[in-house]
Amino acid sequence: MTDLSERAPDRLPDLATVETPWGAFLAVEDDGVQRIRNIRYARADRFAPAEPVVPDPASSADLQFTTIACPQPPSPSAAVLGEPLQGARFDEDCLRLTVTRPAGAEGPLPVLVWIHGGAHVSNAGDLAGFDASAIAREHGVIVVAPTFRLGLLGFLGDAAAGDGAAGRPANLGLLDVVTALRWVREHVAGFGGDPEQVTVFGQSSGADALVHVLAADGADGLITRVILQSAPFGIRTDRDEMYGKMRAAVGEIAADATTDEIGAVQLVAKQAGSGFGLRSGMSFGPEYARAPLPAEAAVEAAWKRRAPGLEVLVTWTTEETMFYLGTVPKLERLFRVPVIGAIARRVLVGATTRSVYSREGRRFAKLMAGAGASVQVGVFDGRPDGSPLGAAHAIELPLLFPNEEAWSRAALLAPHGAATLAPAGAALRSAWVEFARTGRIGEKRIPVGAGWRGGLTLEEIS
């Protein structure tokens, strides 16, 4: 899709119709790409499991210029990412997805399903910064991006596992993702996609969600090819005490509580979950021994059962935690001190990146390969020339989703990385689609360029 900054201020994209077995869907069409936005894939009452629905053109007809997100408090990462939710409409009726496809697509085309990150508390699938138009246009694929419940609306159940008590179930957001993946399998052919060639890719908590789908009951066959970008494997375990304190802080939630009141309670829960080290950076998340997940000790066995025939790419960046540490004023000043600053940055960022991402990510890759999966690992050191944050967490996202206007406000891309996203990320987008078509990336080094340096280094895991 042509960047909004390149259009006349008064020109909106055209609307087109896409014929499907369920009727004609309205779509935003621009520069050879159609985006059918906000298709409802399920319904859910508050704190109730999602109920899948069949595609309905009426569910999205008047929402083609609207970004819908699960209600959420302001994110401390918003400035780093360029205020990605600016202009979004927050609505609990958020179980919707966007289909991005080449205009006039004649299927069946390979399908990529994008699961967004945001610590399980922020973002949405249909943000401008996740606009998949470039991938669809350049490579003739379909991209599906679901939005799902987050924070207290999607996680942190209140009833003890297995006691049959009424209340707030755990893992609703994870179950939403499962429901969306099942929707793709059952319905994407009607939009020109190939349900037998589906690749799921997620970043950060989105990758964490996919890791847990791979362990979930009732999810057999939903993932056969997956890209896990910066999954926080190192903080997924030993969370029960933190969740207990958060649950106690929340207490009972009134049936008529407003979304603002729930947001306020969520902040109370987050504060109660502080003090648990790096785990507190993602205080909300999937809970083990609560449906659909096994007990924590049984997760690796569940992964091994799913591994045969699975095709997996596990990636992380070389300076993941600069995303967080580089915006702490005291550390930012320390990192700028000659000689000592560079050493401190290398030690602190290296240790925390290994602890949260790379060490356990590599162990997961080896476990899955040993159980019969085809696995590659990719280490990404790409960053804009002169970037103060370097190859930080999420740095590859603007290269995969190169909407210049959306990313131009992001401190992550300073000073000038947003200006060349389309050419800089062309090889990376090609590599992701190569994996989506074949289950592996053939080259061992995928460079970035055009005002950027570095790239992705790959290795086979056996």
Length of the chain measured in residues: 462
Task: Give the Cβ contact number of residue 334 at 10 Å.
Answer: 15
pLDDT score for 160? 57
pLDDT band, residue 166 (cuts 50/70/90)? low
pLDDT score for 106? 83
R_g (Cα) of the chain, nearest Å: 21
**What's the mean pLDDT in 241-257?**
94
Q: Given a cut of 90, is residue 164 above it in pLDDT?
A: no
pLDDT score for 159? 67
Establish if 185 belongs to a structural domain: yes
Establish if 254 belongs to a structural domain: yes
Query: To the nearest whole number, what is the mean pLDDT of the chain?
Result: 94
CATH number of domain containing 24: 3.40.50.1820
Which residue in 293, 291, 295, 129 sits closest to 211, CA to CA?
Answer: 293
Establish if 211 belongs to a structural domain: yes
Please tell me which residue in 204, 205, 230, 358 is annotated as part of the active site: 204
pLDDT score for 105? 83
Q: Given a cut of 80, is residue 175 above it in pLDDT?
A: yes
Task: Give the Cβ contact number of residue 329 at 10 Å.
Answer: 7
Q: Given a cut of 70, is residue 235 above it in pLDDT?
A: yes
CB 67 within 8 A of CB 84: no
Q: Is 393 a catalytic residue?
A: yes
Segments forming the whole domain that contains residue 80: 4-319+349-461
Name, in order, each residue with C-beta under 8 angstroms of 55's C-beta and a sequence gap of 6 or more. Answer: 20, 22, 25, 39, 187, 190
pLDDT score for 103? 95
Establish if 336 belongs to a structural domain: no
**What's the mean pLDDT in 366-381?**
98
Residue with tokens 């069946």: 108
**What's the mean pLDDT in 122-135?**
98
Establish if 130 belongs to a structural domain: yes
CB 221 within 8 A of CB 178: no
Please tell me which residue in 311, 393, 396, 404 is annotated as part of the active site: 393
Task: Give the Cβ contact number of residue 371 at 10 Å.
Answer: 17
Q: Given a cut of 70, is residue 136 above it in pLDDT?
A: yes
Establish if 338 belongs to a structural domain: no
Between CA 235 and CA 245, with CA 239 as vertex, the angle to 5 degrees is: 135
Please state the domain count of the chain: 1
**What's the mean pLDDT in 119-126?**
98
Q: What is the pLDDT of residues 331-360, one digit of tens each?
A: 989 999 999 999 999 999 999 999 999 999
Q: Given a cut of 60, is residue 9 above it in pLDDT?
A: no
pLDDT score for 107? 78
d(CA 202, CA 208): 8
pLDDT score for 224? 98
Q: What is the pLDDT of residues 24-46, one digit of tens each?
A: 999 999 999 999 999 999 999 99
pLDDT score for 161? 44
Name, in order, each residue with C-beta under 8 angstroms of 428's C-beta and a sequence gap of 6 or more. Answer: 382, 396, 399, 400, 446, 448, 455, 456
Q: What is the pLDDT of residues 222-231, one digit of tens each?
A: 999 999 999 9
Q: What is the percentage of the chain residues whose pLDDT exceeds 70?
A: 96
Q: What is the pLDDT of residues 57-111, one digit of tens each?
A: 999 999 999 999 999 999 999 999 999 999 999 999 999 999 999 998 887 999 9
Between CA 458 and CA 285, with CA 204 as vertex, the angle to 5 degrees is: 140
Please tell me which residue in 320, 360, 396, 404 is annotated as part of the active site: 320
H helices of 274-328, in order, are 299-306, 322-325
Instruction: Give me the residues paired with residue 200 across strands.
Output: 113, 226
CB 287 within 8 A of CB 171: yes
pLDDT score for 326? 87
Q: Given a cut of 70, is residue 236 above it in pLDDT?
A: yes
d(CA 173, CA 183): 15
**What's the mean pLDDT in 280-293?**
97
